[in-house]
Amino acid sequence: MTSDTTIPSQEDYLLDEQVGYVLRLANQRHTTIFQSHDTSGLTATQFSAMLRLAQYGECSQNQLGRYSAMDVATIKGVVDRLRQKGLVCTKPFQNDKRRSLISLTSKGAAMIEGLETAGRKITKETLAPFNASERQKFINLLKKLT
């Protein structure tokens, strides 16, 4: 015989080498770092929605979800909680009875600059294991994956 009856797999399957698993770990680490900074009581998801509102201005709820990469059900919960905190408000849209326009309140708008400052620190701390070259390489690869 020229070969064994049991053919071994080309390589062991190691969970720790799988991109999905390691992505999950990286996310966990980032979440921990995020929560250790002062982001005015916002979660990372709420943070994203706030910054998108600041970036794009008032828009519909579903549009904000698309800007922020959130499902319609997810963005609804996020907007509800931001409204409870008094950071965003909603007004009906004249030309379309289906939708309403969401925008930052003055309280929410006043918060943006501080959020950006915190965000810079969070990104910096998250990428701390890298040197400058690795940092840029990593972000570029990550964006290529999206």
Partner DNA sequence: CCTAAATCGTTTGTATGCAAATGTTAATAA
Partner DNA sequence: TTATTAACATTTGCATACAAACGATTTAGG
- 38 belongs to the binding site for its own copies (CB under 8 A): no
- Taking CB under 8 A as the criterion, the residue among 15, 95, 98, 132 binding its own copies is 15
| Phi, psi at 140, each rounded to 5° | -65, -45
**Spatial distance between the Cα atoms of 123 and 139, rounded to a whole number of angstroms:** 11
Tokens 């400052």, located at residue: 117
- 146 belongs to the binding site for its own copies (CB under 8 A): yes
**Spatial distance between the Cα atoms of 146 and 138, rounded to a whole number of angstroms:** 13
Tokens 């969401």, located at residue: 102
In sequence order, what are the residues at sequence separation of 6 or more whose Cβ sits closer than 8 angstroms to the Cβ of residue 6? none
- Near its own copies by CB under 8 A, which window of 77-85, 93-101, 103-111, 135-143? 135-143
Question: Minimum CB separation from its own copies for residue 127, in Å?
Answer: 6
Which residues are near DNA by CB under 7 A?
A: 24, 28, 31-32, 35, 43-46, 60-63, 69-74, 76-79, 81, 95-100
Whether 46 and 81 have beta carbons less than 8 Å apart is answered as yes
- Give the relative orientation of helices 61-68 and 44-56 as an angle to the nearest 10 degrees: 110
**Closer CB to its own copies, 72 or 91, in the complex:** 72
Size of the site for its own copies (CB under 8 A): 45
Question: Minimum CB separation from its own copies for residue 3, in Å?
Answer: 19
Residues that bind its own copies (CB under 8 A): 9, 13, 15-31, 34, 44, 48, 51-52, 55, 69, 116, 119-120, 122-123, 126-127, 129-130, 134, 137-139, 141-146
